[in-house]
A and B are shown apart, each in its own frame.
Chain A
Amino acid sequence: MDFSRPHIYHESVASRSNIRYIALPDNDKKKKDDQSLDDRVIASANQAAQDLLLGPGLADVDPRLIDATRFQESMTPSSDTIQPGSLVVIFESFDNLNFVYAKSKEIFNNRNGHFHHDDFIGKPFGCKIRSRNNRGYGYCFLLKPTPELWSRSVNHRTQIVHELDASMICFYLQLRPNMVVCETGTGSGAMSHAIMRTISPAGKLHTFEFNHQRATQARQEFAENGLSHLVEVYHKDVCGKAPVIENYKPGEKEDTKDNKKEEDTPPPQQSSSSSSSPQQVQGGFGLLGQSVDAIFLDLPEPWLAVPHAAFCLKPDGRLASYSPCVEQTQRTVTAMRKAGFHSLKTFEFRLRENYVHEYDMDPPPRAKRPKVDPNPHDRSRMNNNNDKATTDDITVAMVGDEDTGAEADNEESQVSEAEISLTAGPDEVEDAIEAAKATPISTAATAKKEKTSPTTAVNASSKQRKMVVARPFTNMRGHTAFLTFATAGLLPQPDPNNNKNPTK
């Protein structure tokens, strides 16, 4: 992914500006009054340089740090074309994404056809590619990977943290570049990618997973995506629990039968005072106290990890917990309060996606119900009806789009008339007949009205409007999880591993 590529440094306006600390001549220990004007200029320039580059109000700064050449522009190289080996997201449709590492002579197959990697290479990202078979009818789009696209295209080994929740976690944890962050468990690695994007280029993500297979696979994926310098994957149970069957997320977290024995990656910085009996499974992050900027917990029993998190977090560091059930959240919140966390907030976020399309709005149908001929064999009346039908057709042609207008002709109008007489109930027909018999004058009047009405109908139909509309999708994800955020207190918290083992 782009954010993991090594930065290119080049000159910036600041680094060219020549602003730096200038050592004063020897006489700077003289009294202020004796300083020459030029020396004063230099002294104030030094102060201004320090204020600008390091921020105001710092005392006793190493003068070497006051140097604008340190502020070169640092950018990731832009990658526009697909190179051999680059990760490509294949966008088939909105909910069908895949990824490949472009490699010569390989073929990607999906239901749209065979896509040759040789066709990708050299093409720009964002292009449309045709399948070699199916006479080119199948196509898909090739996109540059982002953590969001990755999380949608990766094979879900566990329930993943969806992109909305992932973006909320990164934001509410107040992550920024070069932070040290812990995450547990790794799962499918979707969340890890989002965190790593935020803490690149020199931050560190410590991610813990108690399932051996998943840890291995995640480690391999991170390496393939060129992220190894940002992440450390541990196979470890942070809660330090003896193997149990988890009831909380059936199917999501597998039973870890031998997580203790299989600890293949010892944590880098064992806290020196931790002395445990070999039988006891030790939880915790294995990091020094007050060394982590933010921690994200996605565990079946997060409350067990909260004391460990409290120990590792820096003062005023941030903690987030992600649990689908209210009961889990309650116990976690209680544990957080106990461990000195404050500013607790629990949220639920749902994405409401909207369906957009263009909507043709017909005016209300103002045309009167066509009269049913009381005496269908009367030839003189039939002519009258035919006239009416054609005028109706004109309005139809005006209302409808070209296709229907072209198709509409007299034959069809007669068919529709027949349909009307069929659909109308026998009672209504009789009513109409009676009415027609009773007041022949009024029918004549209505017939006149009908003759004049087409013009008004045409006017009304010209008001038919096209409108771009949106409505929420009929289905949405009803629930993902409760997200609890908290801030660590200022007091250092004890190491839970030490409290449990007073044998020392």
Chain B
Amino acid sequence: MSTDNGTQPQPELPQDKAEEKSKDPSLSAIAENNNDSSVPDPRLEVQSGVVRDGEYVILAFGDGRKFFAQCQTRARGKSTPVKIHKRSYHTWQLVGLKYGKVLELGQSGLVPLPDGEEVIPSNPYIAENAVATVAATAATDDSKGGADVAVAEDNEMEDTTFPPIQQDNDNRHLLMGDKSQAMDQDDLRQLREEGAHGSEIVEALIENSSSFKNKTEFSKAKYILRKQKKYQPRCRMVRCTAYTICEALYIKDSRKLMNMREDTLGQILSYSNVSAGCQALVFENCMGIVTGAVAERMGGYGRILSVYTGQQPAFVEMLSRFNLTFAQSHSIKWLHSGDVFMEDNTEAPPPPADAIDTELEEREQLKWPCPLQEHTRQYMQTMAKDKQKKDFLAKRCNRFARKLTRHTTLEVNQMLAERKCDSVIIVTRTDPTATLLGLLPYLAPSGPFVVYCEFIEPLTECFLEMQRRSLAINLRLSDTWMREYQVLPGRTHPNMNISQSGGFILTGIKLCPVTGKNELDEELMKEIRSEIGGRRGRKPKKKENPSNEKDSNMPKKKRRR
């Protein structure tokens, strides 16, 4: 805040602006707003640098493959191993490691390497520069993986437009065929059974290759890279965020995401203007990835009203991958689609009549810490083992804790009724026009909405309908052209394979249904027109039909005459 009154002459602010300034919210002001200042806001902690128990991570390999893994300590019992290369690896040893750590797939499981190690290991056989550049090529050519390499000195940042390596060899003597490798499958199997480290196998392969020394530096590096991927696989632990999760899922199976590329998700989040403290209405059939991304963006402030269909929300599995804090997951409230979509009104339906909230009554009866009932006590005495009792109690308390913090259906409906949503996000396979018309009444005027569809046609209809009914403004139907580049000194070019479409987005801003339309200021218009003479300063025309005032307001009609 000190910078506001810095050395610069303070700009003359208008009176009311200055008042606003004095009321400027600051960090302390936010804390003060909390009724009890002794209670710290848990949302201030952004993220931890280490993997915590129960968190999901993404294991990103050098060749672009990505695996989700849930890291759980052994004490918690049900560690689900991650399956890579037809082998299962336990994840309990990953708890407590730093995010960004590189792991090697060894005989004993996932072995964390010291800080600074890279996914592509360095190799003494070739100049490091070549490894770096080729590795980057390989990684980006897959259009998936990152270029995980360390680069040698580059001569104090001189012009790097031209490749730094002289090519002594070329492939004029290269022969196709499988004669060049002296080692066969049995030798390799034997090496592996002896427990040789991956780097040793790679070294053996290089030494037994007759053609290796005749290769160019780049193809040497390529060769090594290929062998390392196979015999010395490494991966990096990547934090699960909306971006990394969406990217990993898109690579794996984009159809499940309705072909929504990660950059499209990023746009949805931006154009819908979701921010901490707002109320967002989300309707998606995308496994929960949009809800999770919005919850991450809002950081536990505000409310996310997520519409679900069917018996219960089916997004639990995907949402757990976001490693949401309690505040974040508590900010997600579930709404059933049947309670949201009413008749095709343009205005919000009336709030529901005073129904008795049985769920609420049930919840109010619960107490913390859930005292044992007599029959439960008797049941517990039948348990022989101590651990059995402990597990039973733990399960029971977890269940109570969940029940106590669960919103009832009516409570969430009440939230929808009492405050207009600040933004609406629709990512579904349902008809966009009808869906948007159904949700628009809940959106506050001047609130932005985003509709995603993997096809353009449904959105064009939706676009036109909004325009016709003048329900929205700033309408834009767009898709993104995303191109990834291989950037290397002297060899920069776009990737050979890129994604062609990441889906279509319709964005717009809702107009006020009353005053946003054309003919509402009728009285005022008449008044104004009577005060001032002609149209646009010209003299009034002789023919002015007072009975047909409504039509004459329209400039369009004028043009037709």
Contacts and interface: CB of A to CB of B under 8 A. Distances in A.
A468 B509 CA distance: 21
A70 B43 CA distance: 9
A130 interface: yes
A384 to B, nearest CB: 39
A401 to B, nearest CB: 14
A330 B161 contact: yes
A136 B463 CA distance: 28
Nearest to A4: B25
A219 B6 contact: yes
Contacts of B95: 57
Interface in A286-333: 293, 303, 314-316, 326-327, 329-331, 333
A126 B3 contact: no
Contact of B518 (A18, A128, A144, A265): A128
Contacts of A17: 368, 404-405
Given A130-B525, A265-B6, A347-B484, A6 B444 contact: no
Contacts of B238: 343
B543 interface: no
A275 interface: no
Q: Which size bracket describes the interface of A in this complex?
A: 35 or more
B165 interface: no
A148 B272 CA distance: 10
A343 B297 contact: no
Interface residues of B, number: 177
B178 interface: no
A216 interface: yes
Interface in A337-390: 337-338, 340, 342-354, 356-358
Interface string B60-89: 100000000000010010000000000000
Interface string A142-172: 1110111100000000000001101110111
B486 to A, nearest CB: 8
Nearest to B147: A344
Interface in A20-46: 20, 22, 32-33, 37-38, 40-42, 44-46
A212 to B, nearest CB: 9
B351 interface: no
Contact of A197 (B6, B275, B400): B275
A13 B332 CA distance: 12
Nearest to A338: B151
Interface in B178-228: none
B292 interface: no
Interface string B248-272: 0000000000000011011101110
A124 interface: yes
B511 A33 contact: no
A170 to B, nearest CB: 6
B386 A32 contact: yes
Given A337-B132, A352-B481, A484-B487, A177 B43 contact: yes
B485 to A, nearest CB: 4
A80 B444 contact: yes
A491 B14 contact: no
B275 A6 contact: no
A19 B17 CA distance: 43
B68 to A, nearest CB: 17
B297 A176 contact: yes
B271 A148 contact: yes
Most buried by A among B26, B238, B270: B270
Contacts of B371: 38, 41
A84 B463 CA distance: 34
Contacts of B154: 334, 338
B98 A316 contact: yes
Interface in A456-504: 468-470, 482, 484, 487-491
B549 to A, nearest CB: 12
A351 B124 CA distance: 45
B151 A334 contact: yes
Contact of B535 (A67, A85, A137): A137
Given A17-B405, A71-B330, A316-B239, A45 B370 contact: yes
B6 to A, nearest CB: 6
B53 interface: yes
Contacts of B262: 171
B277 A126 contact: no
Contacts of B303: 73, 75
Interface string B433-455: 00000000000111110000000
A337 B390 contact: no
A78 interface: yes
A450 interface: no
Nearest to A358: B464
Interface in B429-480: 444-448, 456-457, 459-461, 463-464, 467, 473-474, 476-480
B509 A126 contact: yes
B27 interface: yes
B8 A69 contact: no
Contact of B4 (A45, A135, A228): A228
Contact of B263 (A20, A84, A101, A168): A168
Contact of B489 (A37, A42, A128, A330): A330
Contact of B487 (A45, A330, A343): A330
Given A136-B521, A174-B243, A55 B17 contact: no
Contacts of A280: none
A468 B511 contact: no
B229 interface: no
Contacts of A148: 270-271, 273
Contact of B275 (A200, A220, A293): A200
Most buried by A among B29, B446, B521: B446
A164 B481 CA distance: 11
Most buried by A among B13, B118, B390, B485: B485
B49 interface: yes
Contacts of B27: 202, 229
A78 B36 contact: no
A347 B483 contact: yes
A190 interface: no
A424 interface: no
A219 B116 contact: no
Contacts of B389: 40
Contacts of B405: 13-14, 17, 19, 52, 68
B299 A178 contact: yes
B414 to A, nearest CB: 12
A125 interface: yes
A233 B2 CA distance: 10
B325 interface: yes
Nearest to A178: B46
B509 A143 contact: yes
Interface stretch (B166-174, B309-317, B334-342, B526-534): B526-534
A357 B477 CA distance: 12
Contact of A135 (B44, B444, B529): B529
Contacts of B26: 228-229
Interface string A249-293: 000000000000000110000000000000000000000000001
Contacts of B448: 146
A89 B116 CA distance: 49
B99 A101 contact: no
Contact of B521 (A52, A130, A198): A130
Per CB-CB distance, the 9 closest pairs between chain A and chain B, nearest first, are A57-B53, A171-B266, A177-B299, A167-B270, A343-B146, A126-B445, A126-B446, A45-B369, A125-B446
18 contacts: A13-B411, A18-B368, A42-B369, A51-B401, A74-B43, A101-B14, A124-B514, A142-B446, A198-B297, A202-B27, A223-B24, A228-B3, A232-B3, A330-B488, A330-B492, A345-B146, A350-B480, A468-B464
Given A19-B404, A134-B537, 13 more contacts: A9-B34, A40-B389, A76-B302, A91-B474, A124-B514, A128-B521, A135-B528, A144-B447, A147-B273, A229-B1, A329-B492, A346-B485, A350-B482
